[in-house]
Amino acid sequence: MDQKDILVQVKDLEVYFYNNQRCNKAVRGVSFDICRKRTLGVVGESGCGKSVTASAIMRLLPQLARIEKGSITYNSEENGPIRVDRLEANGRIMRSLRGQEMAMIFQDPMTALNPVYSIGFQIGENLQYHTAMNKKERREKSVDLLRSMGIPAPEQRVREYPHQFSGGMRQRSMIAMAMACDPQLLIADEPTTALDVTIQAQIFELIEKLKETRETAIMLITHDMGVVTELADDVIVMYMGNIVERGTVEEVLRTPAHPYTQALLESIPILGKGKNQVLEPIKGSTPDPFNRPPGCQFAPRCDYCHERCSSMPEEVSLGGTHGVRCWKSGGKPV
């Protein structure tokens, strides 16, 4: 991958939550790239740090969170590289990037849509902030966006309010809002969790189309390895704040190396294997983030756990872009 293909570069990012003098190291030194025109799947169980990592990229972290170490560099086509780290948090730059160059869609569209404004007004607001379009042009663009997201009768729908839309249409409207200024990066945080399967498939199709037609880079956050298989080009597997495995989807699916990735894959049905296939849930549960085991965080649940797992190994390369942090795969001391 060429340097010019990298849109976002996350380096050694550590994000901590401070609460009642206790510290939750939610993201623990993660590094990865999001490449132009590719979908990066971020997969892992609830609480592993997927959303916090995404919020750090958008610089929309909750109040108790702090970027403790590391940096995020956004390679803007218009403004060149923009680096965000603990010391450098230029609100003005981030405000101009959000919406215009990077946008995010959430699990529950109602958290992002304002119930008292029409859908058209909310899409138009983004255009008003970032473009010189007049009111008529903004209305026309909002109608076009709704149409391109597959919303029927967009001329009428644009005047309606979120409560008049179904769940799937709200999610489509949120994608329309996010795509209003043609951002280069779309972060989709579990965008279909609240939707039924047929609507889920339609939303995924829409996201896929965005990558192809608008060349958007997509960071797709999910706890579902099946979704990653369907949609992503590259994948990072997170567990308790660490990236434990990474690679192209093909590399990771063909030869999953980390016991956690293997367990995730064993817990999803495989097409063509027949209805008698046995799905293995991952035994145990994630540790208390305020009282973590030393070393590899997966060790207490791992069948291959060994004395050396009380320290965390460095990532080892398995060829190509495939990397893993596990002693079993030849991990080296950090």
Ligand X SMILES: Nc1ncnc2c1ncn2[C@@H]1O[C@H](COP(=O)(O)OP(=O)(O)OP(=O)(O)O)[C@@H](O)[C@H]1O
C-beta closer to ligand X: residue 83 or 223: 223
CB of 218 to ligand X, least distance (A): 17
Q: 205-238 burial, b for 16+ CB within 10 Å, e for fewer?
A: ebbeebbeeeebbbbbbbbbbbbbbbbbbbbbbb
Q: Shortest gap between Cβ of 46 and ligand X (angstroms)? A: 3
Q: Which of residues 24 and 261 has its CB atom nearest to ligand X in the complex?
A: 24
Judge contact between 13 and 60, C-beta under 8 A: no
Nearest to ligand X of 45, 85 (CB atom): 45
Q: Which of residues 7-66 bind ligand X (CB under 6 A)?
A: 17, 24, 26, 44, 46-52, 62, 64
First to last CA, the chain: 26
CB of 23 to ligand X, least distance (A): 11
CB of 279: closest distance to ligand X in angstroms?
20
User: Which CB, 48 or 225, lies closer to ligand X?
Assistant: 48
Strands (E), the chain: 6-19, 22-35, 39-43, 65-76, 80-85, 102-105, 185-189, 217-222, 234-239, 242-248, 316-317, 323-324
b vs e for 289-313, b when ≥16 Cβ sit within 10 Å of the residue's Cβ?
beeeeebbbbbebbeebeeebeebb
Q: How far apart are CA 24 and CA 37, in angstroms?
A: 34
CB of 200 to ligand X, least distance (A): 16
191 binds ligand X (CB under 6 A): no
Closer of 23 and 201 to ligand X (Cβ): 23
Binding mask 282-311 toward ligand X (x if CB under 6 A, else -) reads -------x----------------------
Give me the phi and psi of 145, to 5 degrees please. Answer: -65, -45
Instruction: State which residue, 158 or 220, has the beta carbon closest to ligand X.
Output: 220
Q: How many amino acids of this chain bind ligand X (CB under 6 A)?
A: 15
- What one-character-per-residue DSSP string does 292-327 give? PPSS-TTGGG-TT--GGGGSPBPPEE-STT-EE--G
Give 81's DSSP letter.
Answer: E
Least CB distance to ligand X at residue 12 (A): 17
Distance of closest approach, residue 107 Cβ to ligand X, in angstroms: 8
What does residue 266 show for φ and ψ, rounded to 5 degrees? -75, -15
Question: Which residues on adjacent β-strands are paired with residue 185?
Answer: 102, 217
Over the window 128 to 167, marking each residue x when it contacts ligand X by CB under 6 A and - when it does not, the resulting string is ----------------------------------------
Q: Give residues in contact with ligand X (CB under 6 A).
A: 17, 24, 26, 44, 46-52, 62, 64, 223, 289
